[in-house]
Amino acid sequence: MINNQYIINENQTYFERFELASERIRTINKEISLKDSVLPEALTAYFQKTSDFLLQLCETYQLVSSGQIHKMTLSQLHYLNKSLYEDIENSNYEKSYANPNFATEKLGNETGKLFCMLYATLRGCTAYAFEERLFYLTIYFELFIEVYNLVEDNCTDKEIQSAIYYHFFDYADIMATDNIRSRLNPDMSFATDIIMNADISNPAYLYLFGEYISENEYKTSEYLSTLPEEQIKSIATTFTEGYKKGFAAYDIDLSKKKTVNIRYRLGFERIVREAVLQFRAMGLEPCFIRGKNGYCGGSANRQYEYDHRMDEAVIFDKALAKRRLDTQRFAFEDMKQIASEYAGPAVIETFGEKNFMPLEKKTRIRFNSKQQKQHVDYMAETSLLTNEFIPGNTVSFTIIAYPVPEIGKDYKAIFDDTIKVNTLDSSMYEEIQTCIINALDAGEYVTITGRNNNETDITVALSNIDNPEKETKFENCLADVNIPLGEVFTSPKLKGTNGLLHAVSIYLNGLEYIDLKLYFKDGVITDYSCKNFEHEEKNKKYIKENLLFHHDTLPMGEFAIGTNTTAYQMGQKYNISHLLPILITEKTGPHFAIGDTCFSHEEELHTYNPDGKEMKCKENDYSILRNTDSTHAYFNCHTDITIPYNELGDIIVYKSDGSSIKIIENGHFILEGTEELNKVLEIKRSQSHWL
């Protein structure tokens, strides 16, 4: 039952409209079943399927609101979850109206795309049935009814698209306010109530979230229930202490903050519950928001998600963007106080799922060139607005990762080894990384080359520092905000950064890239290619959409050297290197981020390495525009591309006098003071041929 007064008041307001809309959908469903409808034949099956689903949501809402869902058995809950998502699962997706190929085949190209988008939008209402959000159920039910009526009246696709557009335009104010409230206000406690009050020793609680529950979520919960309480507390402490250390490292007063946004994958509730208790001891209440940037279940179908990534192209234009920005500003103004009390995100990532290569469909919705530019500008404005009310230099974060059971038979051993990787000796790494930074600080530029089919050959220019005794070019990254430890990084100087960055095979943002090549001139990408598809045009479009995020180019925002050879060894030991997340992979070789710097919106913060030297190289030619041309200062993306040790040739630092210092040779650390890093590599090297 609902505990939040805001939701209770909302439901009282919309109850009658919801009942009327639900009854109308029952009538529509009956009309179609009895063949009393005057729908065009091609759309009859579509509206039958869609109304069936919406009536299923009505039934689900009744189960939740009456409390009956808490009396259901585990098998009944599993069946309910399966029935809500089965239409897009596996082979079922081939004949689903959520599949743009199927929808356009049955309904025609333009009509099919439009109604495919509508069907996917309505499927998103599943969460609202579990959250008892009558406002959202009502307005989306009414949208369905409006579209049905328009079809009955033989209206055109353009008129139907207009109706969908004005649905989002008219409700933009409520949606924007609700989204910000969910991010910042701990009273929005749907997930908190489940996490803190449910019997998490019984996996049945997972089905109360309304998310798709795969074997990963179920088996993760089962496994964590077997671990001793002290181990759970220790895992949570690594997570929460990393968060606290981040505030100390950046000299931000944590005592002024009241909320933390916890983001995680379902199944980890036992750890998250303990983390909530530890955060509360710091004076922080949790906020949980649903979605990929919040809490989420598994994916019923990753191709479905890929197919619908740009559905907003049906409605997006400059006017909608402006309305959203205006309403977001109003919402932030209204919640200015709680925005100032927000501390930042604490994230538990997962890894181990089979990697995904999407099928590119001509039928899926995409932004046109005009919309692409407008959407890029809109995202930039949104970022600036958020930073206005939640300045980047007043918040921090932490992020850590653990495997899911899909990783294979060694899951438990990998989980244990991940704990070890996440808790390595910071003092040892601090000394080693200080040696590397001292060498880098002496240089004007660095060259990085590949081997074993990796064609990387790139020069990275380094910014100057005025006082080497007190200042540094590289940050010494230990186990605080970014867990595990193991890298030194900087914002490179763009002018003079030239060459080829090559990845033989790599997974970025959940997608595979084969033979990825990025060419840099004065720090920005001038050309790019991969070999995922037969035609070059498809490959370039794939990179621009998924790696450049529709920007014409991106700068190199970060250059780093990863030092966590233990993490690398774990990947090789279990043959899971290709499954490790960027969070870990970036520590297993040099990496280069395209997009914003690591210090986006935090350039003014004074930060220091453990040796007392101040990190000075936080700017580049774009971020420096933030005070004069803010819309072009940031790109709102940051993607790390790593060269693993077995594909790495040399890393050499060149000084102004022409002399050089070699840090890595043929994938091994040779700089004095770094020899310890090679030990785990040498153990395996004597056993096989990793390097």
> What pLDDT score does 1 carry?
58
Query: Has residue 327 been placed in a domain?
Result: yes
Clarify whether residues 9 and 146 are in a common domain: yes
Query: Has residue 553 been placed in a domain?
Result: yes
The C-alpha atoms of residue 27 and residue 36 are separated, in whole angstroms, by 10
pLDDT in tens, 452-480: 999 999 999 999 999 999 999 999 998 78
Query: Has residue 415 been placed in a domain?
Result: no
DSSP string, 507-546: EETTEEEEEEEEEEETTEEEEEE--SSSSHHHHHHHHHHH
Of 214, 275, 567, 240, whose CA–CA distance to 404 is shortest? 214
Tokens of 92: 């079922």
Q: Which of 136, 170, 204 is the last residue of a domain?
A: 170
Domain span at residue 614 reads 426-685
Helix extents (H) in 188-346:
190-197, 215-224, 229-249, 269-281, 302-307, 318-334, 336-340
Clarify whether residues 69 and 13 are in a common domain: yes
pLDDT in tens, 74-112: 999 999 999 999 999 999 999 999 999 999 999 999 999
Clarify whether residues 366 and 508 are in a common domain: no
> What pLDDT score does 691 carry?
42
Clarify whether residues 641 and 537 are in a common domain: yes
> What pLDDT score does 687 carry?
45
Clarify whether residues 609 and 645 are in a common domain: yes
Clarify whether residues 126 and 237 are in a common domain: no
Q: What is the mean pLDDT of residues 402-428?
A: 96
- The answer to whether the CB of 562 falls within 8 A of the CB of 588 is yes
Clarify whether residues 143 and 234 are in a common domain: no
Q: Which amino acid is at 313?
A: A
Query: Has residue 179 been placed in a domain?
Result: no
Q: Which of 379, 394, 409 is the last residue of a domain?
A: 394
Chain mean pLDDT for the chain: 94
pLDDT in tens, 289-346: 999 889 999 999 999 999 999 999 999 999 999 999 999 999 999 999 999 999 999 9
pLDDT at 421 over 70: yes
Clarify whether residues 29 and 134 are in a common domain: yes
Clarify whether residues 370 and 432 are in a common domain: no
Query: Has residue 107 been placed in a domain?
Result: yes
Residue entry with tokens 């056993």: 687
3-state secondary structure of 133: coil
Query: Has residue 418 been placed in a domain?
Result: no
Clarify whether residues 134 and 202 are in a common domain: no
Domains: count for the chain: 3
Clarify whether residues 569 and 653 are in a common domain: yes
Specify the long-range contacts of residues 39-45, CB closer than 8 Å, at least 24 apart.
Answer: 39/151, 39/152, 40/151, 42/106, 42/107, 42/108, 43/107, 43/115, 43/151, 45/106
3-state secondary structure of 201: coil
Confidence of residue 605 (pLDDT cuts 50, 70, 90): confident
Query: Has residue 90 been placed in a domain?
Result: yes
pLDDT in tens, 228-254: 999 999 999 999 999 999 998 888 999
Clarify whether residues 198 and 106 are in a common domain: no
| Other Cβ atoms closer than 10 A to 228 | 8
Query: Has residue 69 been placed in a domain?
Result: yes
